């Protein structure tokens, strides 16, 4: 049986760069070496591509431990130092000469999860894991995602879209418009980032300028969103034309909400699989996840997050992640394992789904 050569693409020009490195490390450890030859393909913070060599060295770095011991900034600087010290020539983007059959994309956030690299690989004729251009671009934008799933009959939290340029020109008018439409507390989010990067829970007027300034520094579009009471419930979806939904998982954040530090550094949030909601409500959440997946045109995989009020039975879609985390504590692989698909089998199935497109 011929071995398939997989480009494991990680890093990238986004605020979620370090999480991508940690996810790629987990995937490399769980890929079937008898079926696949892995060529690590690292994209640096400044957008340079490196095939094998330093890319493989970075996979062997325990970045998660470094982040816990030191800081995110130190971890990021360590990656940059290793790349510069290696003095390796960047990849020339000749996928055919490199013998690459398929790309396993582990790029979170901008330039990786938003359709840009998907379109590039389509142009190069390289199959890849996960969603295509349209679904990737659509789900990256939280405001557009809301419009699409609401049209499919799925409830979403009331929200308002703010353009960063408008806030920078006239912050007082923007703040007045927000306060006329939302009661405190509410959330301020960059529209196009994941892993809770740049999200703030705004409890009173004194916190609003800082939250808006932070979000506007990270994105050109910002979402102001009503706080929804309920449990945070997530579903992993896997498949192309006939997707399947996992059991429901639940996250109980250690703080007010499940932020970046809670997700990847402190690891203090509690995870419950299955979610602590009635079975009938779990089935409704799984059904809503599949409906959203199809409405958005997803394929390959996605993790779909909801807020669920078990007393009223209200199910509200929070967001869709087309390249979810694959770290040791990430919900997507844990949910799939609880549903009968272990990490190694999951990696294999994702590659097969990519090749069958």
Of 141-145, 233-237, 261-265, 267-271, the poorest mean pLDDT is in 261-265
The CATH class for the domain spanning 159-226 reads: alpha beta
Indicate whether 258 pLDDT > 70: no
Band of pLDDT at residue 122, cut at 50, 70 and 90: very high
* CB 14, CB 112: distance < 8 Å: yes
Across the range 14-31, mean pLDDT stands at: 93
How much is the mean pLDDT over the chain?
92
For 4-128, CATH gives: 3.40.50.20
Of 61-75, 104-118, 279-293, 305-319, the poorest mean pLDDT is in 61-75
* Residues 51-95: tens digit of each pLDDT: 999 999 999 998 888 887 778 888 888 899 989 888 899 988 888
What is the rounded CA–CA span in Å between residue 248 and residue 22?
24
* Residues 312-338: tens digit of each pLDDT: 889 999 999 999 999 988 999 999 999
Domain 140-155+229-356: CATH superfamily is: ATP-grasp fold, B domain (3.30.470.20)
Nearest to 143 by CA among 158, 164, 153: 158
Strands 155-156 and 314-321: parallel
Domain positions in the chain are 4-128, 140-155+229-356, 159-226
Band of pLDDT at residue 261, cut at 50, 70 and 90: low
Residue with tokens 């509200």, as numbered in its chain = 316
What is the rounded CA–CA span in Å between residue 257 and residue 189?
12
* CB 45, CB 111: distance < 8 Å: no
**Which residues make beta-bridge pairs with 7?**
39, 103
- CA–centroid distance for 284 within its chain: 23
What is the rounded CA–CA span in Å between residue 15 and residue 296?
24
Of 149-153, 267-271, 319-323, the poorest mean pLDDT is in 267-271
Residue with tokens 């010290």, as numbered in its chain = 85
Question: H helices within the chain, ranges in order?
Answer: 17-29, 54-59, 63-69, 72-86, 116-124, 133-140, 142-151, 164-169, 171-181, 208-218, 260-264, 279-295, 331-338, 343-356
* CB 237, CB 303: distance < 8 Å: yes
């Amino acid at each position: 049986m011929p071995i398939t050569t997989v480009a494991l693409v990680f890093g990238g020009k986004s605020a979620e760069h370090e999480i991508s490195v940690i996810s790629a490390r987990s995937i490399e450890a769980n890929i079937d070496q008898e079926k696949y030859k892995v060529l690590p393909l690292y994209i640096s913070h400044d957008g340079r591509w490196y095939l094998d060599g330093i890319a493989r060295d970075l996979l062997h770095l325990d970045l998660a431990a470094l982040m816990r011991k030191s800081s995110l900034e130190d971890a990021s600087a360590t990656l940059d130092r290793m790349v510069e010290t290696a003095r390796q020539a960047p990849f020339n983007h000749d996928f055919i000469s490199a013998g690459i059959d398929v790309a396993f994309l582990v790029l979170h956030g901008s330039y990786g999860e938003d359709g840009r690299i998907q379109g590039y690989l389509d142009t190069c004729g390289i199959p890849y894991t996960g969603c295509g251009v349209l679904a990737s671009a659509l789900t990256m934008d939280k405001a557009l995602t809301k419009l699409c799933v609401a049209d499919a009959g799925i409830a979403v939290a009331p929200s308002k879209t703010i353009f960063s340029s408008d806030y920078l020109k006239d912050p007082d008018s923007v703040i007045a418009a927000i306060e006329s439409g939302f009661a405190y507390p509410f959330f301020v989010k960059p529209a196009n980032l994941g892993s809770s990067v740049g999200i703030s829970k705004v409890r009173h007027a004194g916190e609003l300028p800082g939250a808006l300034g932070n979000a506007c520094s990270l994105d050109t579009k910002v979402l102001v969103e009503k706080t929804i009471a309920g449990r945070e419930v997530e579903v992993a979806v896997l498949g192309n034309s006939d997707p399947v939904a996992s059991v429901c998982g639940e996250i109980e954040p250690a703080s007010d909400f499940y932020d970046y530090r809670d997700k990847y550094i402190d690891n203090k949030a509690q995870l419950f699989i299955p979610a602590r909601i009635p079975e009938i409500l779990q089935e409704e959440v799984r059904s809503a996840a599949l409906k959203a997946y199809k409405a958005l045109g997803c394929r390959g995989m996605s993790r779909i997050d909801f807020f669920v009020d078990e007393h009223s039975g209200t199910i509200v879609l929070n967001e869709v992640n087309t390249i979810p985390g694959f770290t040791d504590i990430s919900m997507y692989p844990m949910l799939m394992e609880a549903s009968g698909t272990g990490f190694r089998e999951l990696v294999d199935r994702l590659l097969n789904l990519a090749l069958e497109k």
